[in-house]
Amino acid sequence: MSQDKFDLEEALKNLNSAPSSHKKTGTVKKKNAVKIEPDYRYEACNDSFPCANCGKMINPEGAGTHHRNHCPYCLSSIHVDNEPGDRKSDCKGIMEPISIWVKDKGEWAIVHRCKKCGKLNTNRSAADDNPVLLMSIAVKPLASPPFPLHLLKNALDKQK
């Protein structure tokens, strides 16, 4: 009990000797205090945030995953990681969705390219992602092949 009383008295002493800006909030600022940042590789981020591309508010609860990392409306992301979840990238460019990758068990992942530095990254699709936009990205290579479509027809006709 005396230890608890000592800690309370010490905190009050520090509060009274703290600059006036700290007295208003009732916080005690410690020298060399280290702000502990969450490690998103292992911890879920449950904070809502505005999309840097389209401006809509993003709520992580509808994602169906603990790691919301792109906008469900425009599918854009922000280049914040060097490795998934580390939040150590200095780039902070907008990551645009450029393609869809189908993983082994049929799960879709969105391929993003950073508009600022060009880095490629993949993110799992989420339950609340815009399905029309996902489909339009997925079929884009079929709608705009890298060769004239009549050449494909000619090649198929020759195989008959």
Q: Does 17 share its domain with 71?
A: no
Residue 5 structural domain: 1-35
Section 6-15 average pLDDT: 56
Task: Indicate if 74 and 138 belong to the same structural domain.
Answer: yes
Assess if residue 157 is contained within a domain: no
Alpha helices in 2-160 (DSSP H): 2-17, 20-25, 131-143, 149-159
Same-domain check for residues 57 and 136? yes
| 123 vs 36 pLDDT, higher one | 123
Of 83, 79, 68, nearest in space to 125 by CA: 68
Task: Give me the mean pLDDT over the 17-23 stretch.
Answer: 46
Q: Is residue 44 part of a domain?
A: no
Q: Could you tell me if residue 74 is inside a domain?
A: yes
User: Looking at the 3D structure of the chain, how many domains does it have?
Assistant: 2
122 in the same domain as 60: yes
121-147: per-residue pLDDT in tens? Answer: 999 899 899 999 999 999 998 888 888
CA dist., res. 50 & res. 146, Å (int): 36
Query: Are 63 and 31 contained in the same domain?
Result: no
- Tens digits of per-residue pLDDT, 41-76? 555 566 788 999 999 998 877 665 656 788 999 999
- Give the whole-number percent of the chain exceeding pLDDT 90: 38
